[in-house]
Amino acid sequence: MERKVLLDPKVLIKFSNLYLVAKTVVEGFIAGLHKSAHRGFSVEFSEHREYTPGEDIRYIDWKVFGRTDRFYIKVFKEETNLKCYIILDISTSMDYKSTSLTKLEYGTLLSAILSYLMIKQKDAVGLVTFDSDIRTFINPMSTNPHLHYLIETLEKIEPGERKTSIGAVLNKIAQNVKKRSLVILISDMFDDPALTMRGISHFRHKHHEVVVFHLLDPSEIMLPFTGDCEFRDMETGEKLVANVLDVSRAYRKILQEFLGDIRKSCAENNVDYARTTTDNPFDYFLYNYLGKRHSVING
């Protein structure tokens, strides 16, 4: 069924109450989700059992049928004590915008929405913010007062230092996450992909599940400028004057290589990867991500 997208970022930014934004998005798009997709972050495959006539055929494992010529159902267990850490990049490059929201504002709203969603489904959520170092570290809890505390913290977030070192900071965070958890990284990923993946691999080595939400501004992809422009590196402050026509082809080639390296590395490390731009409606992005995740879980 085709969904009507109403929760546009440029509309939601008019809300002054971050809790209300999270509630609006979650209760809006959850209404259209099957329960299992709603619980897409915390449903884990457990075992097979033989199919009983009358059961939902969507859960038949057709791969097993192909091997055995018998019908088996996938059984799932709900991880009601799931722990999740939302790791939000607040470095200066996240403060860029060509639309109604900066990447940091989009990431902050997305963090609030995810917190509301998971606490609503009884999971524990924590929050970590970073630039060149860890700036906030809030351990996961699953209570409503904790949700309000998380959202109050998110409302006070300001852009951090110019420099960032995603890989080194992720290694540091991983040392502090002891129990097996779901780790959601929200970042523009502007750092050396190899170093970043070393940090992500540290989580995978400790058996954490990792999801990367890669945020970009539409202009960072399209480079929709003309003539001579001054480009400024938001993390180093370095400036460069160049004609867009002269640099656009090389820029797009480098960008595609950068994006390809990240996507490939995530796939090789069994890390969920989803990229979006700051003009993409939150409900559309999350609905599609959770839908795909649900499809993977159900084979």
How far apart (Å, rounded) are the C-alpha atoms in residues 43 and 97?
35
What totals of helices (H) and strands (E) does the chain contain, helices first? 11, 10
What local confidence, expressed as pLDDT, does residue 79 receive?
47
The CA–CA distances, whole Å, from 89 to 35, 104, 179 equal 30, 8, 22
What local confidence, expressed as pLDDT, does residue 242 receive?
59
How far apart (Å, rounded) are the C-alpha atoms in residues 90 and 93?
8
Paired sense of beta strands 43-50 and 72-78, if any: antiparallel
Average pLDDT value over all residues in the chain:
80
Q: What are phi and psi of 282, to 5 degrees?
A: -60, -45
Alpha helices in the chain (DSSP H): 9-12, 18-30, 35-38, 62-68, 103-120, 144-155, 166-176, 193-205, 218-222, 244-268, 282-297
* Cβ(86)–Cβ(184) below 8 Å: yes
Is 298 exposed, middle or buried, given 0-12, 13-18 or 19+ CB atoms closer than 10 A? middle
196 CA to centre of own chain: 15
How far apart (Å, rounded) are the C-alpha atoms in residues 270 and 87?
18
What local confidence, expressed as pLDDT, does residue 26 receive?
77
Q: Judge if pTM exceeds 0.85.
A: no
How far apart (Å, rounded) are the C-alpha atoms in residues 210 and 218?
25
Average pLDDT over residues 96-104: 89
User: Tens of pLDDT along 27-42?
Assistant: 765 555 544 444 556 5
Specify the higher pLDDT residue, 87 or 239: 87
Percent above pLDDT 90 for the chain:
39
* Cβ(113)–Cβ(26) below 8 Å: yes
Specify the higher pLDDT residue, 226 or 176: 176
Q: Where do the structural domains in the chain lie, given as residue ranges?
A: 9-36+80-287, 43-78
Just give the CATH number of 9-36+80-287: 3.40.50.410
What local confidence, expressed as pLDDT, does residue 24 receive?
76
Is 48 exposed, middle or buried, given 0-12, 13-18 or 19+ CB atoms closer than 10 A? middle
How far apart (Å, rounded) are the C-alpha atoms in residues 109 and 99?
15
Name every residue whose Cβ is closer than 8 Å to that of residue 100 and which is 6 or more positions away in sequence.
9, 10, 13, 278, 279
Q: Picking from 1-10, 16-25, 251-260, 264-273, which range would have the lowest pLDDT averaged per residue?
A: 1-10
C-alpha torsion sign, points 41, 43, 46, 51: negative
81 CA to centre of own chain: 20
